[in-house]
A and B are shown apart, each in its own frame.
Chain A
Amino acid sequence: MIIRQLSVFLENKPGRLCAAIDALAKAGVNISALSLADAAEYGILRLIVDQPDLAKQTLTDAGVIVKAHRVIALAMKDEPGGAETILRLLADAEINIEYMYACVGHVTGKALMVLRVDDAEKADAILKENCCDEINPADIYRL
């Protein structure tokens, strides 16, 4: 399933991550998943939240740069080889994965993943066609 992820630019100073997360908490936004990519001089915080529009507005008002991107959320079997099945499908279709991160999910027996790929529509179609369980948007936005 294609979902919206928010990417936040974080300058390399103590407290920047905390300030962003705090702003979201105060606005009543719940974070479903997050990943932090770090370069030497800055970081990018990637977030899946239950209310993307409110979150984007809140962060923009707090003076940080936020952009929304389309990423894929999927549930895979929480067992050995579960990830391999999915990754093989994408590799065979020559879809490039830019990054991925896992969510700690509450869906029994499933591992939830967020993937950024170069062609989200194509990847989504392939995953839907092949074996992947459709996930309930409510599961991903409010894990």
Chain B
Amino acid sequence: MKKLFFKSCLYVVLILITLEIIVRIFHLSKDNPSRFVDEFNVEKWVPNQEGYSVTGNRRQNFSKFYINNSGYNSYREFAPTLNKKELALVGDSFIEGFHQNYYNSIGKKIENKLQDFEVYEYGYAGYDFADQLHLIHAYKETFDKIDYVVLGLKFENDLMRSEYNVVTDRMHLESPLYRNARKIKLLVYTQNIGVLEPLWKLAGRIASIGKKANSNEEKEVTEAEIQYQQNIYVDNFKSLIDKYGFDKTRFILLLNVDVTPQHFLDYLNKNNFEYIDFGNALKQSKKPTTLIYDRHWNNHGREIIANLIAEHIKKSN
């Protein structure tokens, strides 16, 4: 029995070491850049990092990212002036674009279409509308020099807060425990592909022993409850623009009309908020617009988004 136990342990250790080496050699796991909160309380990536973003078990998507001096994934540095024409894209992971080589981003595609514009991509995974407006407000001097600012807005996800605070949960990922765990590439890889999911679920089940079980039954949400929630989101939108400001002459929302409530769209129209709808264009595409195993836009999807923004800016110019 002892022999079985020790030999099994030995094999497990040796196999884990070999797998760690294989994962590193073939770069099967993604690189995780470090994040921080700057002096203006804005959460962003630590400048001047580079690495690779990987999607899928077998590197189905593999792309390089580069974090510039401003702390965002972009091939260019952000240096707006009053003389040049600039466009800023502000948003979450869809704008951040880790799923595409940084030199082939939405911003770059827009620049190819609008020759005289510089495009600055202030994308960061998890940014909601509060993050976006706080960023613009905190870096007012910079953003005042930018001619157009496009803000990505997903109604259901991005309006849950009425004011900005640093998301502490995200910043926990920078704790020494997580930072050290991320050094084990096999761990990152297995976590990303879902192998460790049952382990975390089990840990959760053990942790909840003795506690009152939450009812897992999903309650059917009534129309009135949906309406109530949507009204809260609209109120949050209003609070945020009141607090941080929203320059309607330069700011444009980028949203999907198909998943945005009509009464919010009516509110935007009534109050002269400009917006670009990307839902219809993506829907009409004959080729897939998202990645495999990932709902983020692929190269074709990004091309469509870039086109829409470029066309809108051309018209506004």
> Are both chains from one complex?
no
Instruction: Give chain A's interface residues, CB within 8 Å of chain B.
Output: none
